[in-house]
């Protein structure tokens, strides 16, 4: 996938664990783990909005386009 999710880096900067974020967002840990490990096929705007709100960041901080070789 050409889009990389940098959730782990943002979580590290905020000193937050994945479990804690899952609790705050009301998203299951399994789903958040899928997102963190770049296995997700798509992300809803509502999820992105919730992530940006909780992590005090912009979508560009979470998502990165990586050109495929």
Partner 1 sequence: MPPARKHSFSSVVKLLLDASWYLVALGLCLAVCLLLLVAFSEPGEMQLGIPVTFEMTLRADAPLVLPAAVEQARIAKGSGTLIVPIGRGGFLYATVTTLIVLLAIGLWILDQLCAVFRTVRDGKPFTAANVRRIRWVGVGVILGEFVASGSALFGNYYAAGHVVSDGVRFGGIPIVSPTGIMHGLVILAIAEVFRTGTRLDEDQSLTI
Q: Which residues bind partner 1 (CB under 8 A)?
A: 27, 31-32, 34-35, 39-44, 47
Between strands 3-5 and 63-65, the pairing is antiparallel
For residue 43, the Cα-to-chain-centroid distance in whole angstroms is: 9
Nearer CB in complex with partner 1: 10/32: 32
What is the enclosing helix (H) or strand (E) of 63?
A: strand 63-65
Q: How far is the CB of 43 from partner 1 (least distance, A)?
A: 5
Q: How far is the CB of 34 from partner 1 (least distance, A)?
A: 6
Nearer CB in complex with partner 1: 44/69: 44
Task: At 64, list the tokens.
Answer: 């990165």
Q: How far is the CB of 20 from partner 1 (least distance, A)?
A: 17
């Amino acid at each position: 996938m050409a889009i990389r999710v940098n959730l782990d880096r943002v979580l590290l900067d905020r000193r937050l664990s994945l479990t804690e974020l899952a609790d705050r967002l009301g998203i299951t840990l399994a789903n958040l783990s899928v997102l963190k490990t770049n296995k997700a096929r798509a992300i809803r705007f509502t999820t992105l909005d919730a992530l940006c709100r909780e992590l005090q960041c912009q979508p560009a901080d979470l998502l990165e386009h990586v050109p495929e070789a």
